[in-house]
């Protein structure tokens, strides 16, 4: 009679619940990190590497040149002129988009007949392809058609036709106008979404305290819209800094480089002016990076500190109303 002995039990390591959660978290985050590296980190790093080398299209030899490219590009007046134009373009276009978007959102937030159709109509400038919308505006501005000049002369605003795209003092303003027309619907929709969660009770409390429409806007609407407005403004600023198709299709950087922003300057340096010097073109693009990083840092900090709309209470409304009364806001 043979006896069988039981096999010794093996102590298999067990993963604790905390470690399991960490593994699951990394498994869920890993695809995003890989995508960010492939789409953002690697191209940015490669662009920085190019800026320190003599990288010319068609040449295999790409020697390291250190800061020579930066010294050459930043020593040219053309770079700083393009930088100033970019700042002017953004500093005028973004506030105008915010203003018209806010006015449109306040109007669309009211209840009236045909509000749904008007909300859909507001999206049209933003939804149209850039080629369609910009070429339509180019037809309106063009010297041959003179559509805008004809309208302004009919209204007795001007006495003779104006070359909106042919004169430097009008070309940049025309480009800004097109950007505002295409971009204000983004502000309108996002701010309209920000108005929805603001409780109606806050407006009723402000009315009880004797607040008029302007005071209710500063006491209730503006604090509730602040987080959404900040995020929308920063995103729009980044997009406007990188704006290329609208200006290129409208003016191609002219006349006399009056609309040549950094985004266009990089393109013309690499593919149009004949130098084919990608290293210099990259530096034009990298000139916007510090400003964008600063904006993203402001956005991250603001989102970390933002207060929810529910934190606004009638007491805080009364406090704001008292401050407005002291400041003389009627």
The answer to whether position 112 is within a domain reads yes
CA–CA gap between residue 101 and residue 122 (Å, rounded): 10
User: Of 84-93, 110-119, 313-322, which gets the smallest average pLDDT?
Assistant: 313-322
Model confidence pLDDT, tens digit, residues 138-156: 999 988 878 888 899 989 8
The answer to whether position 276 is within a domain reads no
Q: Which two tokens stand for residue 208?
A: 């009880």
Model confidence at 172: pLDDT above 90: yes
Whether the model clears a pTM of 0.75, i.e. scores above it, the answer is yes
How many domains, the chain?
1
* Cα of 228 vs its chain's centroid, Å: 13
The answer to whether position 128 is within a domain reads yes
The answer to whether position 122 is within a domain reads yes
Residue 56 has phi, psi (to 5 degrees) of -120, 135
The answer to whether position 66 is within a domain reads no
Supply the range of the domain harboring residue 109: 86-263+295-327
* Alpha-helical runs (H) found in the chain: 17-36, 42-51, 68-74, 77-108, 115-122, 124-127, 130-141, 147-154, 168-195, 200-208, 213-216, 222-241, 245-250, 262-271, 278-286, 289-305, 314-327
CATH number of the domain encompassing residue 130: 1.10.3720.10
Of residues 156 and 22, more confidently modeled = 156
Q: Which of helix, strand or coil describes residue 64?
A: strand
The answer to whether position 209 is within a domain reads yes
Confidence of residue 296 (pLDDT cuts 50, 70, 90): confident
CA–CA gap between residue 43 and residue 49 (Å, rounded): 10
Instruction: Write down the pLDDT at residue 308.
Output: 44
CA–CA gap between residue 292 and residue 235 (Å, rounded): 10
């Amino acid at each position: 009679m043979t006896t069988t002995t039981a096999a010794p039990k093996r102590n298999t390591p067990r993963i604790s619940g905390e470690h399991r959660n960490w593994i699951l978290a990394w498994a869920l985050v890993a695809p995003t990190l890989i995508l960010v590296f492939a789409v953002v980190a690697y191209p940015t790093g490669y662009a920085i590497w190019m800026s320190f080398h003599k990288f010319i299209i068609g040449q295999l030899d790409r020697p390291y040149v250190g800061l020579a490219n930066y010294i050459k590009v930043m020593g040219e007046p053309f770079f700083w002129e393009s930088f100033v134009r970019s700042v002017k373009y953004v500093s005028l276009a973004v506030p105008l988009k915010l203003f018209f978007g806010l006015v449109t959102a306040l109007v669309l937030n009211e209840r009236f007949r045909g509000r749904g159709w008007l909300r859909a109509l507001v999206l049209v400038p933003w939804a149209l392809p850039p080629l369609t919308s910009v070429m339509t505006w180019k037809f309106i501005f063009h010297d041959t058609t003179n559509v805008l000049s004809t309208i302004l002369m009919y209204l007795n605003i001007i006495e003779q036709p104006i070359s909106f795209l042919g004169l430097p003092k009008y070309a940049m303003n025309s480009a800004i106008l097109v950007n505002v027309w295409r971009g204000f619907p983004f502000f309108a929709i996002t701010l309209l979404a920000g108005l929805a969660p603001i409780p109606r009770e806050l407006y009723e409390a402000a009315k009880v305290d004797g607040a008029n429409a302007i005071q209710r806007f500063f006491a209730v609407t503006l604090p509730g819209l602040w987080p959404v407005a900040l995020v929308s403004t920063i995103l729009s600023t980044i997009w406007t800094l990188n704006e290329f198709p609208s200006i290129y299709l409208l003016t191609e950087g002219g006349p006399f480089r009056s609309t040549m922003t950094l985004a266009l300057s990089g393109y013309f340096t690499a593919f149009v002016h004949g130098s084919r010097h990608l290293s210099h073109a990259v530096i034009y693009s990298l000139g916007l990076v510090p400003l964008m990083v600063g904006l993203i840092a402001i956005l991250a900090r603001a989102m970390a500190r933002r207060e929810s709309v529910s934190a606004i209470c009638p007491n805080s409304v009364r406090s704001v109303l008292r401050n407005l009364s002291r400041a003389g806001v009627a």
